[in-house]
Chain A
Amino acid sequence: MSVLELKNISKNYGAIQALNGVSLTVEPGEVVGLMGDNGAGKSTLVKVIAGNFAPSSGEVLISGQTVNFHKPLDAQRAGIEVVYQDLAICNNLSAASNVFLGREPTRQFGPFQIVDYKHMQNRAVELFARLKSETRPRDLVKRMSGGQRQAVAIARALLTDARIVLMDEPTAAISVRQVAEVLNLIRQLSEQGIAVVLISHRMPDVFEVADKVIVLRRGQLVASKNASDSSPEEVTGLITGAIEAA
């Protein structure tokens, strides 16, 4: 069964129609590349799935169940995690603290509930090992590379046993070597059965990891097909409108 299904999703901001009748499915463990020109509606689509706001019309189904998210926490509880580039990371804290931010485990110490650093440390080691990332839980995030920061953000998704991870431009501002690192992380998630929706303007990155490519143009879905049946040239044509639909 599809882990995520969208039926006829539309969203308008006042007079602007950002999404227009978008339908798609995502399978467990599938990596979906979501592409489109600036303003095509990619971020809007991700925000609808993540519960930042409700669609103007249409239906969202998680594992076959219709859901109505009113706030991001609702989506999080349903197993949807968003990796917000640098936005959700505190540079002044350690990697482990960041992974557990807002969900710190505690233990009893006299009259106090104190943060269980040992547990956090052990869990973080385990999560980074699962991601095959060389990120040290005790290191401050500000001393880390872009790829390691992504690992921290993605480890958060593993911690909550997410079923779908949404990533908006995770490779936009990092070096080539780190891009490879992030793509590896995405493969690891997929291997654990977690679906990944990846928004990127970088064609080679998408084709390197995606099982399926979805193209939006002015709020409409113009293609949804297996990456192996498509090509960067075709997708470029679809994005610009040189090719009507595929």
Chain B
Amino acid sequence: MSNSSLSDAINNSEHRSFISRIASQQTFWVFVAALLACIALTLMTDTFATERNLFNVTRNFAFIGIVALGMTAVIASGGIDLSVGSTLVISAMTVSVTMASGMPFWAGCLLALGVSLVVGAVNGVLIAYAKMPSFVVTLGMLSIARSLAMVLSNNKMIYQFGPDHDFLLWLGGGSTFGLPHPLIILLILAAFTSFAFRWLRWGQHLFAIGGNEQAAVLTGIPVSRVKVSVYMFSALMAGIAGILEVGWLGGVTTNLGQSMELSVIAASVIGGANLAGGVGTAFGAVIGALLIEVIRNSLILLGISTFWQGTFVGSFIIIAVAFDRFRQARGYE
């Protein structure tokens, strides 16, 4: 065989058709599940498909979704970030305290995002350079960041945000073209994250690290720097969600974002992120967050006690991971 016909043959052997490729994507099936749940709820209740309820669902899932984007990056790089809920509250507190003291929104916003990035950098440096397990470092940070948020606010509720009060509430609670602002921001961030995963060297490198960290080191990828940036990215997403959530709630207390990490990890994992590292997509995280929120909402609408929520979210994580194991055992992957 001549060289050119060999390379032609190689190029043309597109292994699987488009349809079968789509159908093998976990994201697709999770989307189908979410859709079926929505249809079922529309038929079973007359409260689900109301404009008001849908508005609530989309806005609620946006917060989880935004944080899940960062979590997906961390999981794809082979780590875990348990501190996202606490990062969210420290960001929310920072913006609130700053604005309540009479400063403008942009100052509070920059400070809050700066504080979040510092939290992420501390996580990242301890994990990448001190080589500590991400589980332990971020578990410690979960406690530290929330405690600092309490110190910062003296554990009081804040609901007056100074001169830019109305802007903050509009940003988090308002809508444009009928779409709640948190949802719009989620879609923009998801598109950007998706782009970065696929098209930036940063994305290639973080997936390489999650796939085989030793290989990444041997090929000269700046592994430690990439890792720090990944934890900073996760913290930044949590920080953004924190600011928006204050605006939506119109007030903030230090229990904001408590045990949020569970829903966020569930969203990422349901969306196809593999806890073993190396796999995950931005839109998977968004769809995962959507499914969780639809289920959560349905429990409320169907009159099932909210005490069951934890059971559902927890089971989801376990089922998604079990599903992964099952596919691996069958040699599907």
B3 proximal to A (CB < 8 A): yes
Contact assessment for B211 and A92 in the assembled complex, using a CB-CB cutoff below 8 Å? yes
- State which of A97, A128, A138 has its C-beta within 8 Å of the C-beta of B204: A97
Q: Inside 8 A of B211's CB, which chain A residues have their CB?
A: 90-93
Of all chain A residues, the one with the shortest Cβ separation from B1 is A132
Interface string of B205-224 (1 = CB under 8 A from A): 10110111011101111000
A65 proximal to B (CB < 8 A): no
Given contacts A92-B211, A104-B201, A114-B200, whether A125 and B218 have CB atoms under 8 Å apart is: no
Contact assessment for B15 and A92 in the assembled complex, using a CB-CB cutoff below 8 Å? no
Report the separation of the CA atoms of residues A96 and B101 in the bound assembly, to the nearest whole angstrom: 55
Most A CB contacts (10 A, CB to CB) among B3, B210, B211, B333 go to B211
B278 proximal to A (CB < 8 A): yes
Q: Inside 8 A of A129's CB, which chain B residues have their CB?
A: 3, 6-7, 10
Contact assessment for A101 and B278 in the assembled complex, using a CB-CB cutoff below 8 Å? no
Q: Inside 8 A of B333's CB, which chain A residues have their CB?
A: 142
Of all chain B residues, the one with the shortest Cβ separation from A84 is B218
Q: Inside 8 A of B11's CB, which chain A residues have their CB?
A: 125
- State which of B6, B200, B210, B216 has its C-beta within 8 Å of the C-beta of A101: B216
Report the separation of the CA atoms of residues A71 and B204 in the bound assembly, to the nearest whole angstrom: 24
Chain B interface size band reads 20 to 34
Given contacts A84-B218, A129-B3, A142-B333, whether A90 and B10 have CB atoms under 8 Å apart is: no
Binding site of A, secondary structure by majority: helix, strand, loop or mixed?
A: loop
Given contacts A114-B199, A125-B11, whether A91 and B204 have CB atoms under 8 Å apart is: no
Report the separation of the CA atoms of residues A86 and B30 in the bound assembly, to the nearest whole angstrom: 33
Of all chain A residues, the one with the shortest Cβ separation from B223 is A102
Report the separation of the CA atoms of residues A135 and B208 in the bound assembly, to the nearest whole angstrom: 20
Q: Inside 8 A of B50's CB, which chain A residues have their CB?
A: none
Report the separation of the CA atoms of residues A132 and B2 in the bound assembly, to the nearest whole angstrom: 10
B13 proximal to A (CB < 8 A): yes
Given A87-B214, A129-B7; 7 other pairs, CB 8 A cutoff: A88-B219, A93-B207, A101-B204, A101-B221, A102-B219, A106-B201, A114-B199
